[in-house]
Chains A and B, each alone.
Chain A
């Protein structure tokens, strides 16, 4: 076995440039694959973080009818008490009671369908870090004659207004009566999703509740967890405590994101797999060439008594070694590349990444790859290589020694 390894190893370096070319092909294939994997992974992870941390939180609680009809009529009874009680749960970082419903926003010359969110400024800062998303204006200082509203930059552009402008919000009170009220835009916020920016406006709960006629109104409780992995467990727990309410976690709320994250690993393996499939054909060609060149050598080896299985193993071993060299170097370089990009970030705006924010993607991403992923790739590379070597190896042993030793 050791000699077999020695022979295989030395054989690789017999045709140095040919082996190097295939090793470089494997390295480049892997790096290309890992790079695109990193971009996808980074994008998805970023989107998850954005969505969960700044928009929807881990778990949301509503009145069961609210989901179909987001109106002030469908409130959570004792909402403030429930939120307070949830906040005391050790696994819950914060539970933010909100008054949320759909409405309209109108400026002097435009209007737009929106979702109005009545929030407590402090609690909201802890839940979605809304205060940190402000790009212009102040955070609920309420320093005007009119009550304050904080809107997304996208909506501000659509309504053709800015900080200090007056807009009119129209919505229904608890009885279903239509109310219109004037607000002053105190600040603009920005998130990576322009759809979110366009739809969500924030006002103080106390202000909104007095407009709709119920000071204790709560239509939504957003729950942020200490440990993001526990969302399923906590959802069940909260649901058990409040059977009459609708409890949904982020995966219920954003199934598309959930599934793409859930199957991301597999889809990335597939993607790299396809690249490696291409590389494998190159490898097959190289190995086949080197086997055919040495067909007489193999014949002589079999003639003097080296078993076919050993000759077969030798070809597989050579291929595995080449792919192992390429694989190890390729993955080390890929690892270095990803670490570097994680620190520096990949700026996608230069390749049209600005348009990405419409889909909720950030234009600078910081890819992160689980070490297990590299391990899987390593197995993938060697597996492909061994499969690619089977045909050449079969060619090597099929040649009968009697033919091999003839020189004519």
Chain B
């Protein structure tokens, strides 16, 4: 099995606050290709910080992140932008989509930045939107979509460019229970079908049961790391 991400003794201290905040403490984890991992923990436990650090959006105070054998600390800023573009898919809690682009255009956007051929791009965008059940919303702009539909477009976008892994920070936080389950079902299915490594954070106990691995953070440290056979 191929290791996609490895973190070594990851620590993150926010020093700008009144008192330094230890958001991550000695986190050493490995993620294997095809895993569907949920990072859980109460608010403030360091889930977002962890995802930002392994996604190359934030720098650790100590320790390293190795993705596909590359220590991302060795990359220059512009290389890091490129690295994210080619290897990592992101789904955020909100502000995911470009409001002025249609669903199809949003899904194509990353492939466009990757300079993929136009024909292939359109085909793939349509395919992914079908996969997330939005084949009737291809030309609709985000403003006309519900929160759940918007997140499904974001998932389609993150997966369309076939990244090595997808990071999703509380993708269901703004959704009602039904939409949340629906979104996670789609993510779980795509994880199986496309064999893409998926790491998402949540503090919602109800959605955890979709994951094949659940890592619990408490005060920035790994408290539990359980695998489930689903």
**Are chains A and B native binding partners rather than an unrelated pairing?**
yes
| A residues neighboring B (CB under 8 Å) | 3, 6-7, 10-11, 14, 296-297, 299-308, 310, 400-402, 404-407
Residue of chain B at shortest CB distance from A12: B100
Contact A14 B99 (CB under 8 A): yes
| B207 adjacent to chain A (CB < 8 Å) | no
A3 adjacent to B58 (CB under 8 Å): no
- Is A304 a contact of B48 with CB atoms below 8 Å? no
Please state if A308 and B81 are interface contacts (CB–CB under 8 Å).
yes
B98 contacts the other chain (CB 8 A) = yes
Residue of A7, A301, A308, A405 near B57 (CB, 8 A) is A405
Which single residue of chain B is at the shortest CB-CB distance from A295?
Answer: B95
Kindly list chain B residues whose C-beta atoms are within 8 Å of the C-beta of A7.
98, 100-101
B60-93 residues at the A interface, CB under 8 angstroms: 78, 81-82, 84-86, 88, 90, 92-93
Do B92 and A300 touch (CB < 8 A)?
yes
Q: B100 near A304 (CB under 8 angstroms)? A: no
- Closest Cβ of chain B to A309, distance in Å, is 9
The answer to the question of B36 belonging to the interface, with a C-beta cut-off of 8 Å to chain A, is: no
Contacting pair A11 B92 (CB below 8 A): no
- On whether the beta carbons of B100 and A303 are closer than 8 Å, the reply is no
Task: List B residues 93-130 near A (Cβ within 8 Å).
Answer: 93-96, 98-101, 105, 109-110, 112-113
- B33 interface contact, C-beta 8 A: no
Q: Please, how many angstroms separate the alpha-carbon atoms of A400 and B58 in the complex?
A: 9
B179: CB under 8 A from chain A? Answer: no
Q: Does B169 belong to the interface (CB within 8 Å)?
A: yes
9 A-B residue pairs with Cβ-Cβ distance under 8 Å, sorted by A, are A7-B100, A303-B92, A304-B84, A304-B113, A305-B86, A402-B52, A402-B57, A405-B90, A405-B95
Q: Are A301 and B98 in contact (CB under 8 A)?
A: yes
Which of the residues B82, B86, B96, B113 comes within 8 Å of A300, measured between beta carbons? B96
The answer to whether B84 touches A303 (Cβ under 8 A) is yes
Complex Cα gap A300–B57 (Å): 10
The 3 closest A-B pairs by CB, nearest first: A305-B85, A10-B100, A402-B58
B113 lies within 8 A of A297 (CB): no
What B residues does A299 contact at CB under 8 A? 95
Tell whether, in the assembled complex, residue B109 and residue A405 are in contact, meaning their CB atoms are under 8 Å apart: no
Bound form: Cα–Cα A168–B153 in Å: 99
A146 smallest CB distance to B (angstroms): 87
Residue contact B57 to A305, C-beta cutoff 8 Å = no
Taking a contact as CB atoms under 8 Å apart, the answer to whether B52 and A405 are in contact is yes
Q: Are B110 and A407 in contact (CB under 8 A)?
A: no
From A310, which residue of chain B is reached at the shortest CB distance? B113
Which A-chain residue is minimally distant from B173 (CB atoms)? A407
Q: Kindly identify which residue among A10, A305, A310, A405 contacts B169, using a CB–CB cutoff of 8 Å.
A: A405
A7–B93 Cα distance when bound, in Å, is 22
Q: What's the least CB distance linking B72 to chain A, in Å?
A: 13
Chain A contacts for B41, CB-based, 8 A: none
B34 contacts A by Cβ under 8 Å: no
Is A305's CB under 8 angstroms from B92's CB? no
B220 in the interface (beta carbon within 8 A): no
Minimum C-beta distance from A39 to chain B (A) = 42
Q: Please name all residues of chain B whose beta carbon is closer than 8 Å to the beta carbon of A402 when the two chains form the complex.
A: 52, 57-58
Q: A3-B109, A405-B52 are in contact. Are A307 and B99 (CB under 8 A)?
A: no
**A7-B100, A297-B98, A297-B99 known; A303 and B57 CB under 8 Å?**
yes
By beta carbon, the residue of chain B nearest A7 is B100
Chain A nearest CB from B61 CB (Å) reads 13
Chain B 3-36 residues near chain A, CB threshold 8 A: none
Chain A residues with CB below 8 A from B100, complex form: 7, 10-11, 14
Decide if B148 is an interface residue (CB 8 Å cutoff): no
CB distance from B153 to the nearest CB of A (A): 13
Cα–Cα distance between A405 and B101 once the two chains are bound (Å): 19
The reply to whether A307 and B52 form a contact with Cβ atoms under 8 Å apart is no
| Complex Cα gap A405–B58 (Å) | 11
**Cα separation A296 to B78 with both chains bound (whole Å):** 20
A6–B106 Cα distance when bound, in Å, is: 12
Inter-chain contacts of B57 with A (CB < 8 A): 303, 400-402, 405
Q: In the assembled complex, which residues on chain B have CB atoms less than 8 Å from the CB atom of A407?
A: 92-95, 170, 173
Asked if B46 is an interface residue, CB under 8 A from chain A, the answer is no
CB distance from A13 to the nearest CB of B (A): 8
List residues of chain A with CB within 8 A of the CB of B58. Answer: 400, 402
Given contacts A402-B58, A405-B169, whether A306 and B92 have CB atoms under 8 Å apart is no
Q: Identify A297's interface contact among B95, B105, B173, CB under 8 A.
A: B95
Assembly CA distance A11 to B98 (angstroms): 10
Which residues of B lie under 8 Å from residue A308 when comparing CB positions?
Answer: 81
Instruction: Decide if A304 touches B85 in the complex (CB within 8 Å).
Output: yes
Shortest CB-to-CB span from A312 to chain B, Å, is 13
B99 with A302: CB separation less than 8 A: no
Q: How far is the CA of A405 from the CA of B169 in the complex (A)?
A: 9
Residues from chain B with a CB closer than 8 A to the CB of A302 are 81
* Complexed CA–CA distance, A405 and B109 (Å): 18
Task: Tell me the smallest distance from the CB of B159 to a CB of chain A, in Å.
Answer: 13
The smallest C-beta distance from A123 to any residue of chain B, in angstroms, reads 73
The one of B52, B90, B94 in contact with A304, judged by C-beta atoms closer than 8 angstroms, is B90
Chain A residues closer than 8 Å to B52, beta-carbon distance: 402, 405
Whether A300 contacts B95 by the Cβ 8 Å rule is: yes
By a CB distance below 8 angstroms, the chain B residues around A307 are 78, 81
